[in-house]
Amino acid sequence: MKSFLINTALILFGALLFAASFPNPIINYGFPILAWFAYIPVFYVIRRCKNNIRGLLICILWGALYGYTSYSLLVHWLANFHPLAAMTASLLQLFYMALLFPLLKLALIFYPHKGYILQWMLWLAYEYLRTLGFLGFPYGISGYTQWQFPLIIGIASVFGVWGVSALVLFPSVYIAAIADELLLPKRSPQKNPISFFYRERLAAAAWLGALLAALIFSTMQADYSQESTAKIALIQQNADPWMDNNPRGYKRMLGILSSLSQKALEEVPDTELVVWPETAFLPRIYWHTTYRDNPASYEIVKELLDFLAEQEVPFLIGNDDARREVTAAGTLSRVNYNAAILFEEGEIKDVYRKMHLVPFAEHFPYEKTFPRIYQELVKANVRFWKPGSEALVFSTAKLHFSVPICFEDCFGYISRDFSRRGADFIVNITNDSWADSFSSQLQHLAMSVFRAVENRRAVVRAATSGQTCAIAPSGRILAMAPPFTETALHVEIPLMTGFTPYMFWGDIWGKIFTACAFMVLIAGVFRYILDLTKTGRKL
């Protein structure tokens, strides 16, 4: 019982350290130094479990407890969307960790002296794999804790976030191994921290060398050149447009957005682009101007178009873009896209439609496979969108940019594709106001910072309630509007060209860590079976 209570306390402490490393309600910007040690309790508990079948089964229990607790603390704000959303995210992590922890234990069984290195690779593989597919969810990747430190995250232009995660995770597995030597009952007089450190000195030296190289690399990177810049006005209306989804609300929202924009243009007349957040203007602009099936909505759309026709500056506006298309059933009906629309002199110049939709909240492609889940989502008034298909680069007279919408800038491959296609900077439009959480907005911002570093492109963000900001190609925050305020943020950003190593090979380092982890694990299985065969021992 004593051992059980100790392990429980360690797991819960580890979950608390994990959540505290990221932006959270108690420490708004998070306590990123904790991330370098946050996983020590986890790896130590795994070492405390016995090297047998029972020990592996108990690891499943500790993994489930850690996965659920850590993500309940990290993404508590999902409950503001729907209580089941937070529970689903936490249950997914419960499942993932229940699978991961026994593998981490097997690493020690198969490789008694070097198992900590395999544990390190397995955790990195887990971080990469859980960003893939329909359920991909990048929140909680350890590298993102370092978003405030350009000197550390500069290597993301080569390795993506995976290189930063590799640096951050290693001290935990290494120190947990030392704690094993120091605190667990000794079966040999040779088992002590000093002998471990001497035996594993090359691994420690390699990590220190990698950390030093990362710092030097980042120091040598120029922040940006001032030779070519763009002046942009980012609008933050401090209201969730979906909370006032009626003609009266549309008119009020348009009044706020147009007033803030007009004021911004008066303050900085040579502004080159005005950006409104995701679905900032709800009435379907193309639909209502084309079909006019709702006179009240059409009048509000016309008011917007009249306002835009008077502007000499291009406007980028988030909108529900509805089109009449042939559906999978072969019928002609309305299809909705979450879109960013570029206007010049009141006319639509181009439209980007969000490609990577939020699972369950925006997209559920398994209606026939899981009809009950689909019906529950419909009852919860979930807004289903159709995914777009083109990684568009917008162009004005001077500017070339792309617009990952909301959740899309959480994934490196999307901004990478935009940059490879010719975007000189990235514009993220988002609506995080539904979460009513400063920490959730900062967690989202942390991932945007990495998109800037990976592609050496400036990133600007227009968010309904925050964090509206501009990010330098180095990851440094150039300017940020106060959260939960009506404001327009004026920013001047560099226009960058050229390719980074990350733009060439993308998330290959996440794939390399994953491949290496499973090859070494499988080799360990065969090695262990041969050893059992020779010695006649049992697991």
- Name the nearest CA neighbour of 277 among 405, 429, 426, 401: 429
Selecting among 354, 362, 386, 454, the annotated active-site residue is: 354
Cβ pair 240, 434 in contact under 8 A: yes
Selecting among 181, 278, 362, 454, the annotated active-site residue is: 278
Q: Tokens 């968010």 belong to which residue?
A: 463
Selecting among 49, 59, 406, 469, the annotated active-site residue is: 406
Cα–Cα distance measured from residue 49 to residue 184, given in angstroms and rounded to the nearest whole number: 11
Has 454 been annotated as catalytic? no
Q: For residue 74, count other CB atoms closer than 10 A to its CB.
A: 26
CA dihedral 372, 373, 377, 380 (to 10 degrees): 70
Cα–Cα distance measured from residue 91 to residue 82, given in angstroms and rounded to the nearest whole number: 15
Strands (E), 174-248: 229-236
Has 278 been annotated as catalytic? yes
- Name the nearest CA neighbour of 451 among 472, 468, 482, 466: 472
Cα–Cα distance measured from residue 211 to residue 374, given in angstroms and rounded to the nearest whole number: 47
Has 406 been annotated as catalytic? yes
Cα–Cα distance measured from residue 398 to residue 476, given in angstroms and rounded to the nearest whole number: 24
Cα–Cα distance measured from residue 6 to residue 1, given in angstroms and rounded to the nearest whole number: 9
Cα–Cα distance measured from residue 181 to residue 193, given in angstroms and rounded to the nearest whole number: 5
Cα–Cα distance measured from residue 453 to residue 473, given in angstroms and rounded to the nearest whole number: 5
- Name the nearest CA neighbour of 339 among 325, 328, 355: 355
Q: Tokens 């490879």 belong to which residue?
A: 420
| Backbone phi and psi for residue 103, each to the nearest 5 degrees, phi listed first | -65, -40
Which residues neighbour 536 within 8 Å (Cβ) at sequence distance 6 or greater? Answer: none
Length of the chain: 539
Cα–Cα distance measured from residue 277 to residue 339, given in angstroms and rounded to the nearest whole number: 11
Give the catalytic positions in this structure: 278, 354, 406
